[in-house]
Amino acid sequence: MKQRSELVKYVLIGLIVFLGLICLYYGSSIAPGLPRADDVVAIDDGTDPVIRDFVPKHGYFDELSEDLEHNPEVPKSIPICDARYSELIPCLDRNLLYQFKLKLNLTLMEHYERHCPSPERRYNCLIPPPTGYKIPIKWPASRDEVWKANIPHTQLAHEKSDQNWMVVTGDKIRFPGGGTHFHDGADKYITAIAGMLKFPGDKLNNGGKIRNVLDVGCGVASFGAYLLPLDILAMSLAPNDVHENQIQFALERGIPSTLGVLGTKRLPFPSRSFELAHCSRCRIDWLQRGGILLLELDRLLRPGGYFVYSSPEAYAHDAENRRIWNAMYDLLRRMCWRVVSRRDQTVIWAKPLSNSCYLKRNSGTLPPLCLSDDDPDASWNVLMKTCITPYSAKMHREKGSALEPWPNRLTAAPPRLEEINVGSEEFLEDTSIWHYRVDEYWKQMKSVIQKDSFRNIMDMNSNLGGFAAAINDKDVWVMNVAPVNSSSRLKIIYDRGLIGTVHDWCESFSTYPRTYDLLHAWKVFSEIEHRGCSAEDLLIEMDRMLRPEGFVIVRDKPSVINRVRIFLTALRWDGWLSEVEPRIDALSSNEERVLIARKKLWEEVAQKM
């Protein structure tokens, strides 16, 4: 009996040791890889949208690529965010505001301004499309209709049913072209504005002199949509407010637009960028804080620029609207603006062409002129100021911006080049180089693209706007992004008749998921690497912005291309690939490579269609 018990004891010990070795073996064998999407449990506490437990440390992707020779296993997938985050905008996430318990002034619209998560709280997962997502309808048909499944929100259609904003019809949402103050259509409204200004042929472009327009509180951007046939490019702007998804609808339609708000900070655009600003029932209190919001428009308008204002204050005769009108008229008079036309529901003001009126004001008149050390072009995280930005001595003498009419201004060297120490020869050479580069890109992609493959395009490092100028003959529009370290160059973009914004690529961009067909990243990864920011975060952010079946063009040094390439499968950007070593030119600071990749329409989405 004693011998039998000892035998049992040794067998049990042996079994325990054997099981322990098995655990150690399997534990070590899977350690280097990322967890599979179906191996982990959902997190329901609202602190992280990842439905897995994969939240890699910063630099994880970089370390993995650098150690590739010693660690040949690369991630086969990156976790997918929970479906409830299909419309996530990380820096405009109201849930994040609640978690941070930020004390924001709602009256000043601070809750609609950017508030980004810290690096350790960023979303290291891919944003999924909504159930039933379809490849967007192509331009120009998309101007008038989109798939309801892509933006499954019909609240605006019901709320604005009497104003012709949008109508739900079966599996589509249609846009008749109406607005709060132009029920009969934006096209007729635009013609009426041109008539008020007595422009030739009632054409608002005024022979190419009106090119860049800022539409504040744009709704679904029908005003901007109907300016496009006139060769007028509008930056349609609205916050992610109670009319949520209005900018998402605009971008799905293929209309130039962006999320933003007139709150406490300057809009991320340089001074003297727009010939005309427009507000149609935009529900903005223009009189608050000494007229600071009107002063922001003043900063953005070119000499002689117009402000088209359609609102009850412009025509209603009740006591409250009369009070607002009188106060607004007095403020703008002190700002040296004048009424050039007033008809029905609309009034149009014009800015002065020079500093002469400012110099004639009585001492102590408010608002004052800005101090000479204020940079009117500084706009990234810069607070608005209650002062008037006077013109430069050159603009004052010339009584205007001295820009060529469109389309000549696209290729003519703009006068403000000298402010950034760029000569006209360098500018023209830049334009020529980008024409060649873009031709080469299209040759690389010709086997997989159609004439209508692209509509919404982003140039993530726009420099002087050469990339956008080179594709101006195509039926596309480009969001030119000036990184913060070269933001002074954005004024040249606008002086060429293009549009864009300042942005820090160490943070998420202010747009909805799936809003761009093509992302062009020239030296963007090298720049953020130099600043110590995460290439991993940028790749995931680019995926968030990119539409399924969209393209990315990464032009950078070989080490960056190698790093990006190993994650194409994990990002599902391996629908089509091309990599070349381009010709060296004057813009090549060192050896470069060009990688073009196409994002797949996820199989699980396609199966549901």
Contact 578, 545 (CB under 8 A): no
> What whole-number distance in Å separates Cα of residue 584 and Cα of residue 340?
53
User: What are the pLDDT digits (tens) for 212-249?
Assistant: 999 999 889 999 999 999 999 999 999 988 766 899 99
> What whole-number distance in Å separates Cα of residue 531 and Cα of residue 526?
9
**For the chain, how far is it from start to end, CA to CA, in angstroms?**
70
> What whole-number distance in Å separates Cα of residue 202 and Cα of residue 209?
14
Residue 532's φ and ψ, nearest 5 degrees, are 80, 20
**pLDDT higher than threshold 80 for residue 9:** no
The region of weakest confidence among 46-55, 469-478, 569-578 is: 46-55
> What whole-number distance in Å separates Cα of residue 517 and Cα of residue 427?
28
**What is the model's pLDDT at position 162?**
63
Residue 554's φ and ψ, nearest 5 degrees, are -110, 120
Average pLDDT over all residues of the chain: 88
Residue whose tokens read 């998804």: 245
How many other β-carbons are positioned within 10 Å of the β-carbon of residue 108? 16
**What is the model's pLDDT at position 18?**
55
DSSP 8-state assignment for residue 487: G
> What whole-number distance in Å separates Cα of residue 521 and Cα of residue 460?
5
107 alpha-carbon distance from chain centroid:
25
Contact 355, 396 (CB under 8 A): yes
**pLDDT higher than threshold 80 for residue 187:** yes
Contact 203, 209 (CB under 8 A): no
Contact 372, 358 (CB under 8 A): no
**What is the model's pLDDT at position 195?**
98
CA atoms within 13 A on the CB side of 389: 24
User: What are the pLDDT digits (tens) for 537-592?
Assistant: 999 999 999 999 999 999 999 999 999 999 999 999 999 999 999 999 999 988 99
**What is the model's pLDDT at position 574?**
92
The region of weakest confidence among 7-21, 35-49, 567-581 is: 35-49
Name all contacts of 23-30 with Cβ < 8 Å and 24+ positions apart: none
Which residue, 395, 301, 403, is CA-closest to 356?
395
Categorize the per-residue pLDDT at 463 as very low, low, confident or very high, splitting at 50, 70 and 90.
very high
Rounded mean pLDDT of 192-205? 98
**What is the model's pLDDT at position 528?**
96
> What whole-number distance in Å separates Cα of residue 167 and Cα of residue 175?
6
**pLDDT higher than threshold 60 for residue 367:** yes
**pLDDT higher than threshold 90 for residue 384:** yes
**What is the model's pLDDT at position 123?**
83
Rounded mean pLDDT of 272-278? 98
Contact 509, 538 (CB under 8 A): no
Categorize the per-residue pLDDT at 6 as very low, low, confident or very high, splitting at 50, 70 and 90.
low
**What is the model's pLDDT at position 68?**
44
> What whole-number distance in Å separates Cα of residue 202 and Cα of residue 144?
24
User: What are the pLDDT digits (tens) for 292-347?
Assistant: 999 999 999 999 999 999 999 888 889 999 999 999 999 999 999 999 999 989 99
**What are the start-end ranges of the E strands in 373-429?**
none
CA atoms within 13 A on the CB side of 416: 25
Record the tokens describing residue 46, joined without a space. Answer: 């609202």
> What whole-number distance in Å separates Cα of residue 230 and Cα of residue 226?
8
Could you give the angle at which helices 319-334 and 288-300 cross, rounded to 10 degrees? 50
Rounded mean pLDDT of 526-538? 94
Of 561 and 163, the structure prediction assigns the larger pLDDT to 561
**pLDDT higher than threshold 90 for residue 41:** no
**pLDDT higher than threshold 60 for residue 22:** no
Q: What is the pTM of this model?
A: 0.88
Record the tokens describing residue 232, joined without a space. Answer: 């007028």
